[in-house]
Amino acid sequence: MKTECLVVGASVIGGAVATKLSKKGLHTVILSDKPGVGKDGKCTSIISASGLPRTGINYKPAVLHEIFGANIRCGNAHMAVRRKEPVALVLNRFQLDELSVAQAQDAGAELKTSARFEKWEPIENRNAAETGKNANNQNAYNGMAQTAAGPIKTDYLIGADGIASNVARQCAFPALEHFVVAWEGEYESAALKEPDLVEVFLDIPGLFGWAVPAGPTTVRIGLATPNAVLLAHHKARLLQNPAILPMLKGAHKVREFHHTIPLRYRRQTQRGNVCLVGDAAGQVKATTGGGIVFGAVCAQELADAVHHHAEGGPLDYERIWRQKYAGALDGHRHIRKLMDFSPFALSGIGLRLFSALGGKGLLEQNADMDFIIRKEAGNTS
């Protein structure tokens, strides 16, 4: 049987898009570039309790811990924000990726492992793919993917292959323009005074540092910054922070990693029948680097758009996801910019001022980790 949809990348978002495509009856193949699936746990995996159900992923078996709020710190200023109900959940990222891909397989998708996507060759109507003409012709954009497991002919090529997307490179998408480099270490036997709160450190230029409990005595400590040269310096400072030092007494590091996070979506995420989603598209919150909720909701839109096109309608993924979610992602980007450029942002004065102006109440009552303002507080998204 000819493959209708080829999803490159067998991680959380590749699994999400393949699940919905398969449920819609489209024959879908997922390619993994390695013997297994996923992102090798390179993620803090703290996800909003309100956003997780929107992902469509069977996430519950991967939940490790509940978070009720945050201690936000900047210099020697501190603001505690706490809610009565869990605001976020911390997950086992290895398991989340496996669950997402297994769900796609259960829905009928075929997983090919050790099958790195290498090259894309449009084989029909190459000009249409370039210009967007004949968008209603469902057969206009067939192509051949060259993979480590051999060539695969497909109607739709979906790049869910992460920040270093080879699909984006092969199909000449505009580059990602804004990203940060991150380090994270996971520590066990940590002495956590408030294991239901995350620690957020705002005095790291460009992004922030964090300590996220993943259990009563397990903590994920990390930071991200646009300046890779200063990463080691910031890491050393963070580990000496008076809020971190006591929790690491007697703790031991069980794993650590470096990775890159895109902070701005690409200028283009669809070219003919080739679409990018998740980190490959840069669908990530610029305030936190969190990409699972927005990647997954965009994956749902992508599967709907492909199905609609296969039924004879236009392939409108780019327009639809931007209409629904680009506004929220832009909101995160504007907050990020404000923090990067405000003279107060990296000082305790900024945090004290924010608190004095009612910021604590705003965060405790109305803030949403994904859509910035909670729906019931007037969000229009």
Ligand X SMILES: Cc1cc2nc3c(=O)[nH]c(=O)nc-3n(C[C@H](O)[C@H](O)[C@H](O)COP(=O)(O)OP(=O)(O)OC[C@H]3O[C@@H](n4cnc5c(N)ncnc54)[C@H](O)[C@@H]3O)c2cc1C
Residues lying near ligand X in the complex (CB under 6 A) are found at: 8-14, 31-34, 38-39, 42-47, 116-117, 160-162, 166, 182, 184, 222, 259, 261, 278-280, 284, 289-292, 295
Structure tokens at 150: 């051999």
> What is the β-pairing status of strands 274-276 and 150-159?
parallel
Least separation in angstroms between CB 51 and ligand X: 8
- Closest by alpha carbon to 307, among 23, 53, 103, 13? 23
Whose Cβ is closer to ligand X: residue 152's or residue 248's? 152
Whose Cβ is closer to ligand X: residue 12's or residue 238's? 12
Structure tokens at 268: 């283009």
Least separation in angstroms between CB 66 and ligand X: 14
Measured in residues, the chain has a length of: 381
Least separation in angstroms between CB 312 and ligand X: 29
- Closest by alpha carbon to 370, among 53, 14, 11? 53
Least separation in angstroms between CB 255 and ligand X: 12
Q: Is 237 exposed, middle or buried (0-12, 13-18, 19+ CB in 10 A)?
A: middle
Alpha-carbon separation of residue 184 from 20, 65, 205, 212, 224 (angstroms): 32, 18, 17, 10, 9
Those residues with Cβ within 8 angstroms of residue 283's Cβ, 6 or more apart along the chain or in another chain: 265, 277, 291, 294, 295, 298, 321, 325, 329
Least separation in angstroms between CB 272 and ligand X: 19
Least separation in angstroms between CB 299 and ligand X: 9
Whose Cβ is closer to ligand X: residue 280's or residue 329's? 280
Whose Cβ is closer to ligand X: residue 142's or residue 225's? 225
Whose Cβ is closer to ligand X: residue 63's or residue 77's? 63
Whose Cβ is closer to ligand X: residue 116's or residue 374's? 116
Query: Are 23 and 33 spatial neighbours (Cβ–Cβ below 8 Å)?
Result: no
Whose Cβ is closer to ligand X: residue 63's or residue 140's? 63
Report the distance separating Cα 58 and Cα 342, nearest Å.
40
Those residues with Cβ within 8 angstroms of residue 330's Cβ, 6 or more apart along the chain or in another chain: none
Region of residue 216 (phi > 0: left; psi between -120 and 50: alpha; otherwise: beta): alpha
DSSP states of 24-46 as a string? TT--EEEE-SSSS-S-TT-S--E
DSSP states of 224-237 as a string? EES-GGGHHHHHHH
> What is the β-pairing status of strands 3-8 and 150-159?
parallel
Whose Cβ is closer to ligand X: residue 138's or residue 288's? 288
Least separation in angstroms between CB 185 and ligand X: 10
Whose Cβ is closer to ligand X: residue 116's or residue 360's? 116
Least separation in angstroms between CB 343 and ligand X: 28
Least separation in angstroms between CB 314 and ligand X: 25
